[in-house]
């Protein structure tokens, strides 16, 4: 089956096609484990349960309270009503070697080691974005997936968002934009932590030593766990790594872009200086793709440039303009013709449990379901999923280069073949973060 036909959201849906693709093997339930049972871990796992006859056998988290709650939810939602086994250490979970599929939804600093260990244990993987906290981690993750011949899908589910799949096919690929000269990607959400709570002892149900893992050991703070760890560069990649990667990856997919020639970025903490958060509140980045630039901007204050598109992408061509977001797309032709508008189509009638699920982004649920179905199809065929680990590495590393450019104050020219910055020893030293002992940084030739 041709991937373009497989992924079209018009005519026959991806969901229908994929259900048909593995309907013959429906009696064989994939044995699934989840590492990281917080917000998006549960979102991903429960969408998987909705579309495939999986058996969730293991859950892992360093927060015992969160882990127990997730086990109860999964027992209610999965078909066999069994309560999964629970683990506080992913290594113990993977040592059982009884999992076919492992989902990883930990904070960013805990993506690389569990993903590599999972493929070494023989499992296929769904890993959240960004795949890594540094470029060498991503290189090692890609090498491990290929060496062990595992299918790895990255949680850049814009590639499976039905209305964006339609926009790619009917607007971009049909040539309605004409010659493209510029792309803007942006986020204006007021999403940066603004508080400054005091440091405290960690709660008794959290193994903070294991939560920190290879990252620097900061004093525990209420901003760190759960969810707001994104406020700190020690654990994540700032808003560029959190939000830019989605829209950069969307544009790369839509326009068939690979690595940029160079990346430049500037910004910092220019307005919200009272918060304990150490990620930028203002940042711009230019990714040079030769024929045109892709320009990123985020601000965590003020009004969005377009209230209808506070987080999205705008592709400018000489025949029209295409605006894209998780909620909709708009095409405005130049010189005649009718504009085209599409909204996200939620599936609350088909999946009524979405209505009451805590913290679920209902408009994103259809995309996650289709992303999971694409993964399952590729597990059966041993093909490459739409958000294959290599694509996740390119998008993630490109965002890392933006953060490094801002840190160093200069443009970085990227050598995609050598996987290094051209003529910049200082920048190349920063492609690998230091790991806290006893954890060892993964290397390409050691996975």
pTM: 0.94
Structure tokens given for 245:
């990667």
**Which pLDDT belongs to residue 28?**
65
Give the count of beta carbons closer than 10 Å to the beta carbon of residue 306.
Answer: 14
**Residue 123 to residues 33, 127, 145, 262, 368, Cα–Cα distance (Å):** 10, 12, 10, 35, 20
The pLDDT tens digits of the residues spanning 195-238 come to 899 999 999 999 999 999 999 999 999 999 988 999 999 999 99
Give residue 144's pLDDT band: very low, low, confident or very high (50, 70, 90). very high
Report the chain's mean pLDDT, rounded to a whole number: 94
Q: What is the pLDDT at residue 1?
A: 32
Q: Residue 270 has what pLDDT? A: 98
Distance, CA of 367 to CA of 15 (rounded, Å): 10
Q: Which of 39, 108, 56, 32 is nearest to 364 (CA)?
A: 39
CATH fourth-level superfamily of 3-158+366-388: NAD(P)-binding Rossmann-like Domain (3.40.50.720)
Q: Which residues pair with 342 in a beta bridge?
A: 329
The stretch 236-247 carries a mean pLDDT of 98
User: CA 314 to CA 20: how far, in whole Å?
Assistant: 35
Answer yes or no: is pLDDT of 16 > 50. no
Contact criterion met (CB below 8 Å) for 150 and 123: yes
Kindly state the percentage of the chain with pLDDT values over 70.
94
The two beta strands, 340-343 and 180-187, are unpaired
Name the nearest CA neighbour of 66 among 225, 199, 232, 222. 225
CA torsion sign, 170 to 176 to 177 to 179?
positive
The three-point CA angle 237-346-130 to 5° equals 15
- Cβ atoms of 61 and 42 within 8 Å: the answer is no
pLDDT tens, 347-404? 999 999 999 999 999 999 999 999 999 999 999 999 999 999 999 999 999 999 999 9
pLDDT at residue 194 is higher than 60: yes
Tell me the per-residue pLDDT of 251-304, one tens digit each, with 9 for 90 and over. Answer: 999 999 999 999 999 999 999 999 999 999 999 999 999 999 999 999 999 999
At residue 412, the pLDDT reads 98
Quote the pLDDT of residue 195: 87
Residue 276 confidence (pLDDT): 94
Residue 19: pLDDT band with limits 50, 70, 90: very low
Chain segment 91-109, per-residue pLDDT in tens: 999 999 999 999 999 999 9
Percent of the chain whose predicted confidence (pLDDT) is above 90: 92
Band of the pLDDT at 12, cuts 50, 70, 90? very low
Residue 168 has pLDDT above 60, yes or no: yes
Supply the Cα-derived Rg of the chain in whole angstroms. 21
Higher pLDDT, 62 or 19: 62
What pLDDT is recorded for position 29?
A: 86
Q: φ, ψ for residue 277 (rounded to 5)?
A: -60, 140
The end-to-end CA distance of the chain, in Å, is: 32
Task: Give yes or no for residue 8 having a pLDDT over 80.
Answer: no
Q: Is the pLDDT of residue 21 over 60?
A: no
Number of H helices, E strands in the chain: 14, 16
């Amino acid at each position: 089956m041709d991937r373009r036909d497989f992924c079209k959201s018009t005519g026959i849906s991806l969901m229908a096609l994929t259900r048909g693709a593995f309907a013959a093997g429906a009696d064989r339930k994939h044995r699934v484990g989840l590492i990281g049972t917080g917000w998006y871990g549960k979102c991903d796992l429960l969408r998987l349960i909705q579309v495939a006859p999986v058996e969730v056998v293991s859950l892992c988290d360093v927060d015992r309270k969160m882990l127990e709650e997730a086990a109860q939810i999964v027992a209610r939602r999965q078909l066999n009503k069994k309560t999964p086994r629970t683990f506080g250490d992913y290594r113990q979970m993977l040592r059982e070697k009884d999992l076919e599929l492992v989902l990883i939804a930990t904070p960013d600093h805990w993506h690389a080691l569990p993903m590599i260990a999972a493929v070494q244990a023989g499992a296929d993987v769904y890993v959240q974005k960004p795949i890594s906290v540094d470029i060498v981690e991503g290189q090692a993750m890609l090498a491990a997936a290929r060496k062990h011949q595992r299918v790895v899908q990255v949680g850049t589910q814009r590639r499976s968002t039905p209305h964006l799949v339609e926009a790619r096919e009917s607007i971009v690929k049909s040539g309605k934009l004409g010659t493209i000269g510029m792309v803007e990607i942006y986020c204006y959400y007021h999403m940066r932590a603004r508080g400054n709570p005091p440091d405290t002892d960690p709660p008794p149900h959290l193994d903070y030593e294991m939560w920190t893992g290879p990252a620097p050991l900061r004093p525990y703070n209420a901003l760190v766990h759960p969810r707001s760890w994104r406020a700190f560069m020690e654990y994540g990649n700032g808003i560029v790594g959190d939000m830019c990667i989605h829209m950069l990856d969307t544009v790369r997919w839509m326009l068939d872009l690979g690595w940029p020639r160079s990346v430049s970025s500037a910004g910092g903490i220019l307005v919200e200086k009272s918060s304990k958060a150490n990620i930028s509140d203002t940042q711009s980045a230019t990714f040079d793709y030769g024929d045109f630039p892709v320009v990123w901007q985020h601000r965590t204050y003020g009004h969005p440039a377009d209230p209808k598109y506070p987080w999205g992408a705008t592709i400018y061509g000489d025949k029209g303009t295409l605006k894209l977001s998780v909620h909709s797309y708009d095409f405005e032709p130049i010189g005649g013709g009718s504009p085209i508008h599409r909204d996200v189509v939620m599936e609350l009638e088909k999946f009524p449990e979405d209505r009451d699920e805590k913290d679920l982004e209902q408009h994103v649920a259809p995309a996650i379901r289709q992303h999971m179905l694409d993964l399952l199809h590729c597990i059966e065929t041993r093909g490459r999923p739409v958000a294959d680990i290599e694509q996740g590495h390119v998008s993630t590393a490109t965002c890392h280069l933006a953060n490094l450019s801002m840190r160093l104050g200069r443009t970085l020219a990227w050598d995609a073949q050598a996987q290094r910055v051209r003529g910049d020893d200082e920048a190349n030293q920063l492609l690998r973060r230091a790991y806290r002992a006893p954890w060892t940084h993964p290397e390409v030739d050691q996975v």
